Amino acid sequence: MDIMLILGAFVAGFVAQRCNLPPLVGFLLAGFTLNAFGFESNDAINQLADLGVTLLLFTIGLKLDIKVLLSKEIWAGATLHNLASTAFFTFCLVALQVIGVSLFADMSFEQLIILGFALSFSSTVFAIKALQDNGEINSVYGTLAIGILVMQDIFAVAFLTVSTGKVPEWYAIFLFALPLVRPLFYKVLDKVGHGELLVLGGIFFALVVGAGLFELVGVKGDLGALILGMLLAGHSKSSELSKSLFNLKEMFLVCFFLNIGLSEQPTLAGLILALVFMLLLPVKGILYYLILDRFKFRVRTSLLASLTLFNFSEFGLIVGGLAYKQGWISGDIMVSIALAVSISFIIAAPLNRFSNSIYRRSASWLKEHSDAKINIRDQFIGVGQAQVMVLGMGRIGTGAYDELTERHGDICLGIEIRNDTADHHQRHARNTICGDVTDSDFWERIQNLDQIKLVLLAIPNNQGNRYALEQLRLRGYQGKIAAIAEYQDQVEQFIELGADAAFDIYREAGSGFARHVCDTLNPNFTTMK
């Protein structure tokens, strides 16, 4: 039977992927199909599903910048939307109850609020996947969407903690001392290396220190995993740790989505209710747009963030699953939530794939804020008096910047993706701003590009340099472009793509090294012919 579950999940996930849909849509549908053939969930699948949710929260915590959550557009925006969306869905559910829909006949007002609360969430898994596929995970709208999703996750975990009915032990207060132990956690991460021990260390922190410790004092373990991930987010290995756990987390989440379908058999009533939920979904997306627009973000940012969040959530399934276990909602309603999640993913996938096209078509009738009123995180990027733009302020970019400044004065503007590196250059009097040139949103915001006479592509990543070159050409840039490359065939590719010059950094470094040695040591060679 377990072999059939694995086979069904793989085939359905593969078909969904080939249809340009998230594989998790296939996993959900596989669960429903297998349930119809008499297959049921078991303890092993339940445990793996729980592990998947715990690791998901831990990895979300690893990527979380506390400063982002503290910005009012994140915490206030997420809170306002959650309240407004929950109120809207609850009102609609009460209306359905009043007109006599049998599925809601025996539900109390409090239970209807819980169901409305479950429908108010958007999918973290789907949004991150869509942003990664579009290459806009670091864009303003991407970080905004992820911040809102993290706040929603915190709301969900808080609800799950309260709804279990367990009162934390008195000694749970000692959990507030965890930040004091963070230096010890950092030392452990420093020592585990980069291989399988790092993966095992991540599992240890998520399941033992995080979930295990919180469960021990009577608090929901998922909340512990999220908080511990947040404590480790500042470590230099946090990104590597998140990537090392990615495949393991994804595998466990397969069990979670499969388990949803196995929990209840689809019914006609459940499908009809799911379609009703889908008719209400556009209002949820409109609420996102209106709230973000109130915080003075650009039309593009508000629209693309809303499209990213235009779906129902796996956390809605978690909340709904708990409500089902507690007897607050029926099996048909639980099935309808799962079907609504699946259908929303099917609709949201192409919307996100063509989000920029949707923006360009709708920008003419959506009112843009004036430049002076735009949110500081989303303002246009001016190049000042710069004539040279250096993309990537690593060692090569910094060396080029300093050389050009020494020869021609303050004519350079450096672009660096890391905030700490940009701050370092600013402290050393280099004109540097933070920006991700591999994100189309950066190029949407930059102004006066035509005054730049030379662009140096010095990103230590060939794909990043190629993307930046494509964006420059796409926007009709007429100045000179020079790029670095690691191999000779990449030099040729840059020239073919329209770069005016490309340089093999290793060959140039070797040539420069030889010149420097000869100039410094002045060896008395005998010239050979």
DSSP states along 348-400: HHHHHHTHHHHHHHHGGGSPPPPGGGS-GGGPPBP-TT-SEEEE--SHHHHHH
- The percentage of residues in the chain with a pLDDT greater than 90, rounded to a whole number, is 16
d(CA 339, CA 321): 13
CB contact burial 158-172 (16+ within 10 A = b; e otherwise): ebbbebeeeeeeeee
pLDDT value for 372 = 61
Find out whether 214 and 57 touch, Cβ atoms under 8 Å: no
Tell me: pLDDT of 169 over 90: no
**Which residues make up the CATH 1.20.1530.20 domain(s) of the chain?**
1-363
Find out whether 26 and 12 touch, Cβ atoms under 8 Å: yes
Find out whether 323 and 264 touch, Cβ atoms under 8 Å: no
What is the CATH topology of the domain spanning 1-363? Na+/H+ antiporter like fold (1.20.1530)
pTM of the model: 0.72
Q: What is the mean pLDDT of residues 224-238?
A: 84
**Tokens in use for 361?**
């078509």
DSSP states along 118-152: HHT---HHHHHHHHHHHT-TTSHHHHHHHHHHHHH
The three-state secondary structure class of 402 is: helix
pLDDT value for 163 = 67
| Least confident stretch, 476-485, 490-499, 511-520 | 511-520
Tell me: pLDDT of 226 over 60: yes
User: What burial class does residue 119 get, using C-beta atoms within 10 Å of its C-beta: 0-12 exposed, 13-18 middle, 19+ buried?
Assistant: buried
pLDDT value for 161 = 64
d(CA 124, CA 55): 13
**Higher-confidence position of 133 and 345:** 345
Find out whether 320 and 264 touch, Cβ atoms under 8 Å: no
Question: Residue 165 — pLDDT band, cuts 50, 70, 90?
Answer: low
> Model confidence over 53-111: pLDDT tens digits?
888 878 878 877 677 777 888 899 999 999 999 999 999 999 988 888 887 877 888 88
> Model confidence over 349-402: pLDDT tens digits?
888 878 878 887 887 777 776 666 777 777 778 888 899 999 989 888 999 999
Residues contacting residue 192 through CB under 8 Å, at least 6 positions apart: 198, 200, 201
pLDDT value for 456 = 92
> Model confidence over 244-253: pLDDT tens digits?
887 888 888 8
Q: Which amino acid is at 453?
A: K
Find out whether 134 and 352 touch, Cβ atoms under 8 Å: yes
Tell me: pLDDT of 443 over 70: yes
DSSP states along 434-462: E--TTSHHHHHHB--GGG--EEEE--S-H
pLDDT value for 492 = 87
d(CA 446, CA 477): 12
pLDDT value for 528 = 62
When the pLDDT of each residue in the chain is averaged and rounded to a whole number, the result is: 83
**Which residues make up the CATH 3.40.50.720 domain(s) of the chain?**
381-521
Largest CA distance in the chain: 102
**Tokens in use for 4?**
């059939």
> Model confidence over 104-144: pLDDT tens digits?
877 888 888 888 998 999 988 788 777 877 767 777 888 88
What is the CATH topology of the domain spanning 381-521? Rossmann fold (3.40.50)
pLDDT value for 436 = 78
d(CA 308, CA 314): 15
d(CA 327, CA 499): 64
The three-state secondary structure class of 57 is: helix
pLDDT value for 5 = 81
Tell me: pLDDT of 261 over 60: yes
Give the phi and the psi of residue 351 in degrees, each rounded to 5.
Answer: -60, -40
Q: Which amino acid is at 317?
A: L
